[in-house]
Amino acid sequence: MSYIEWLRARVGSRKIILVFGTVVLRDADGRILLQRRTDFSFWGLPGGVMELGETIESCARRELLEETGLLAGPLSLVGVYSHPRYDVTYPNGDQVQQFTICLTGQVAGGTMQPDGIETTEQAFFAPEEVARMGLPLWYADMVRDTLAGGEPACSPPYTSPQTEDQILAVRPFIGHDLLLAVGAMAVVVAKDGRLLTIQRQDNHAWGFPAGFCDLGENVAQTAVRETFEETGLHIALERLLGVYSAPDLRHTYANGDQVQNVGAVFRARVVGGQPKPALAEVAALRWQTPDEFLAEMPPSTWRTYFALLCQHLDSGRFVC
């Protein structure tokens, strides 16, 4: 049973956040692969829902092969698409707020063959043809951002008038079982290069402000909101650094709740507020140089933070 089948069997059609991996696949002439979907009958990009134990890249590659028969070469991050304007209600009534991570690369093998289950036909189209096809908003934005290049895309912070905790919305139905939980992390950098770090109350580990998305907000707003709630500081996001989704990013809370974390990492700066740790979650705040921060990291997380701070902080586009 797939993750989405398992989850829907418990929560029904109610709105939930799901993680999708989507690929803008291009051929040697720069044309873009589109497929006609069976559920909505419109043209779109190959992709699907992430499974427990996958990374977002392995999800995107699996879905590409299953749906189209094609393989991709190296993939790079286009952006994260989590704005409520991309919310979807499927023909069966299932409601979803997307947390879609879009990757792009060039076809590198395979035999093009629609699966006949999710895809009825497929073809490569020139960008100017794609622009005239009236793709759904989220696909159109992914294609636009792919063609534009530049830094990874993410919409500015946004929150709906009403929001709901994504975790509390499903825990009554799934108990302590493992959940793909999506969120954001903010690497807040001072003018002198020091980093805003927090010590968590539950395990006393040092890290960066982070937390889970609410239904009704996009992931950029999550980074802003969680930083203020945990530290008392207002931040402005400078850019999206990358996304994390590795299966080892699992956590079991003291009450037994299990999550596999998937999220976006932003570089940010302080624009206001007063430092005040939220004592229910945060034991202490401090500003540290990258070397000071890395010196406190255990071996299990050192490599990840080293890559983030020493390879991606100034020009990040990572997917892990």
Structure-token match 């998305």, residue found: 213
Rg (C-alpha) for the chain, rounded Å, is 20
- Helix (H) / strand (E) element for 267: namely strand 258-273
Tokens of 210: 């982070």
Kindly give, in sequence order, each residue whose CB lies less than 8 Å from that of residue 198, ignoring residues fewer than 6 positions away: 206, 207, 208, 209, 230, 231, 277, 282, 284, 285
Adjacent-strand bridge partners of 182: 262
**Of 121, 128, 164, 238, which residue is the catalytic one?**
121
State the helix-helix crossing angle for 3-11 and 166-174, rounded to 10 degrees: 80
The whole-angstrom distance between residue 66's C-alpha and the CA centroid of its chain comes to 22
For the chain, the first-to-last Cα distance in angstroms comes to: 25
121 is catalytic: yes
> From CA 269, how far away is CA 273, in angstroms rounded?
12
DSSP string, 89-108: E-TTS-EEEEEEEEEEEEEE
The backbone region for 131, taken as left when phi is positive above 0, alpha when psi lies in -120 to 50, beta otherwise, is alpha
Kindly give, in sequence order, each residue whose CB lies less than 8 Å from that of residue 266, ignoring residues fewer than 6 positions away: 154, 184, 185, 186, 187, 220, 223, 237, 238, 239, 240, 241
Q: Given CA atoms 172, 175, 177, 182 in this order, what sign does their dihedral have?
A: positive
Catalytic residue annotation: 121
